[in-house]
Amino acid sequence: METKRKTMFGSQANPRHTRMRVGVGVLVIDSIGRLLFEKRSDCGRWGLPGGRIEPGETVTQAAGREVKEETGLDIEVTALVGVYSEPAGRIVTYPGDDYSVHLVDVILAARIVGGSLQCSAESLELRFFTPQELPADIVPTAVAPVQDFIRGRSAVIS
């Protein structure tokens, strides 16, 4: 697992072998202010629920679909945290791929309106954390958005 972690994040972009992917990440907040993280099955680190925005979907629709698929929860989007595109830490190589992906993520905040918490095949574990007790091994792509959210920043563009 450690080898996967080292090779997945922080790859150098090779313009001929790097694709762009626009996705959505969701800071799901429970009724007492804790943030939902998923321990990802592809790298063993904690990340935000989310994923690719599919053709024909709005950002909000993609957020609702991804959270439902990955956590079993229904959400209502409450805020735009930001749009994150800086290459440092956002160029990844997924296991088995022969190309890198430069991730551009729209990060939203949302509240839970229904459903029941359950892991998907993409998650090893789901857990709520207070802002003071965040896991140490957060995927690099989620670090800045989570810090911005905790600091009360919104509509960040980076």
Q: What is the mean pLDDT of the segment spanning 139-148?
A: 95
Catalytic entry in 76, 86, 125, 133 = 125
Whole-number pLDDT of residue 5: 43
Catalytic annotation present for 125:
yes
* CB 156 within 8 Å of CB 81: yes
3-class secondary structure per residue, 137-152: CECHHHHHHHHHHHCC
Q: Looking at residue 76, which CATH number applies to its domain?
A: 3.90.79.10
Residues spanned by the domain of 125: 2-157
Amino acid residing at 154: S
Whole-number pLDDT of residue 104: 97
Tell me the per-residue pLDDT of 36-82, one tens digit each, with 9 for 90 and over.
999 999 889 999 999 999 999 999 999 999 999 999 999 999 999 99
3-class secondary structure per residue, 85-99: CCCCCCEECCCCCCC
Dihedral of CA 131/133/136/139: which sign? negative
Amino acid residing at 100: S
Whole-number pLDDT of residue 108: 98
Tell me the per-residue pLDDT of 75-111, one tens digit each, with 9 for 90 and over.
999 999 999 999 888 888 877 788 899 999 999 999 9
Residue 99 tokens, joined: 């190309």
Residue 131 sits at the vertex; the CA angle it makes with 147 and 88, to the nearest 5 degrees, is: 25
Whole-number pLDDT of residue 96: 79
Whole-number pLDDT of residue 99: 87
Whole-number pLDDT of residue 93: 83
Whole-number pLDDT of residue 12: 53
Domain count along the chain: 1
Position 135 confidence tier, pLDDT thresholds 50, 70, 90: very high
Name the H helices within 36-133. Answer: 59-71
β-sheet bridge partners, residue 39: 46, 125
% of the chain surpassing 90 pLDDT: 77
